[in-house]
Amino acid sequence: MPIRILALFFFCDLASAFAQSAQTLPDRSIVYSAHDSAAIKDYRTDPSVVHAMVNRLVLAVTAQPDLARAWGSLVSPNDKIGIKISAAGGELFTTHRDVVNAIVDGLVTAGHPRSRIIVWDRSLGGIKDAGYNPNAEGYQMKSVAPRDGYDSKAIFTAPLAGKLIWGDLEYRTDRGTVPLLSDNEQTSDQSHFSRIVSSEVTKIINVPVMSDSSTNGLAGCLYNVTIPNIDNWRRFTQVNGFGGSAIVDLYNNFLIGKKVVLNVMDGLVAQYAGGPQSQPNYAVHHATLLASKDPVAIDALALQRIDAWRENAKLPPIGQLANHVRNAGQVGLGHADLTRIDVRNVDR
């Protein structure tokens, strides 16, 4: 099938999904919050406390009496499950290992083999410093391989050309090699989804950190499963709001949004400036986790909290950069209007 026709089909799917989202969106969204000051101290988490927080959240979101049935209501026995983390923050600000392990333990309780669960991000360069041991966790830890990690048949087209670099699927020379350096500038208005989201997982647990972003206001739920899962993403930095519509279109694609069954935002340590890379001077031991099936609602609450911290620090608001959160609310992916969001605490 020609690429342009395939891209047209993608846009038709998006238009249909937008209409369906608007019809099925409930009048209000619920975000569950778990806070425990004992969860983290001096950047070190307490595994038992964090596990208990995650378990309470999952039980609340699903309204099930036990963990096996709670996770069983989100994923089926035949699903290939992926947990999308944020590993951009290195030692101090990667999605915490205890949060991930609590999720994995819950999935195991529901009958899913630990060895079949995939935990991934575009790059996993900082996970060892963050306490992960890829050889001993029991689950698969994957990054998106440069070039070969992207699916040539899973295409996202947007009317904005970007300069291709080494690692993008279409970047190559006349000889078919992929050099580290080249004098030939290549551009494309296409991006390709990672093979992980296109074919390796059928259900996604989305676990971003609570962090600002200097480019798009918030590196939250919507961002976490979209931009890190495509190549040629730098083209969206050319427009105001870091491609506010592109992030929404990417999330609403059937390869991503339809697969996300739960969002858990890791706010054990929150960062209000300099993110998503680690900037301890702008970090807060927030000791809080947020969970919901509505990624937009979580992002809207996180933006409110981050801008409050920025105001206290005499920094300008950053929420105005996060056009994608407002746009996602407008097309019915969730509620961005804080008056339509209920926050329910599941503290001990």
Tell me the C-alpha distance between 169 and 155, whole Å: 11
Q: Answer whether residue 94 is part of any domain.
A: yes
Tell me the C-alpha distance between 232 and 164, whole Å: 6
Tell me the C-alpha distance between 139 and 135, whole Å: 9
Express each pLDDT in 107-120 by its tens digit.
Answer: 999 999 999 999 99
Q: Answer whether residue 163 is part of any domain.
A: no
For residue 249, the domain's CATH number is 3.40.50
What is the pLDDT, as a whole number, of residue 176? Answer: 55
Answer yes or no: are the C-beta atoms of 219 and 211 closer than 8 Å: yes
- The token duo for 93 is 């600000």
Question: Along the chain (348 residues), what's the average pLDDT of each consecutive run of 10 residues?
Answer: 37 44 78 98 96 98 97 96 95 95 97 97 92 94 95 89 85 56 70 96 98 90 95 78 81 96 98 90 96 98 97 92 92 96 93
Q: Answer whether residue 184 is part of any domain.
A: no
Q: Answer whether residue 318 is part of any domain.
A: yes
Q: Answer whether residue 174 is part of any domain.
A: no
Express each pLDDT in 223-241 by its tens digit.
Answer: 999 999 999 888 887 666 6
Q: Answer whether residue 155 is part of any domain.
A: no
**Of 306, 261, 272, 268, nearest to 290 (Cα)?**
268
Tell me the C-alpha distance between 259 and 10, whole Å: 16
DSSP 176: S
Q: Answer whether residue 85 is part of any domain.
A: yes
Answer yes or no: are the C-beta atoms of 26 and 278 closer than 8 Å: no
Tell me the whole-structure pTM to 2 decimals.
Answer: 0.90
Tell me the C-alpha distance between 286 and 309, whole Å: 11
**Dihedral angle sign, alpha carbons of residues 125, 128, 131, 134:** positive
The full DSSP string for 64-117 is -SSHHHHHHTTS-TT--EEEEE--TTHHHHSPPHHHHHHHHHHHHHTT--GGG-
The full DSSP string for 208-243 is -EEEEETTTEE-SHHHHTTGGGBSSGGGGGGSTTTT
Longest dimension (CA), the chain: 62
What is the pLDDT, as a whole number, of residue 20? Answer: 44
- The token duo for 162 is 């970007």
Answer yes or no: are the C-beta atoms of 311 and 219 closer than 8 Å: no
Tell me the C-alpha distance between 243 and 144, whole Å: 22
Q: Answer whether residue 12 is part of any domain.
A: yes
Query: Cα–Cα distances in Å, from 276 out to 42, 92, 151, 273?
Result: 20, 11, 26, 8
Please tell me the total count of domains within the chain.
1
Segments forming the whole domain that contains residue 72:
3-147+195-345
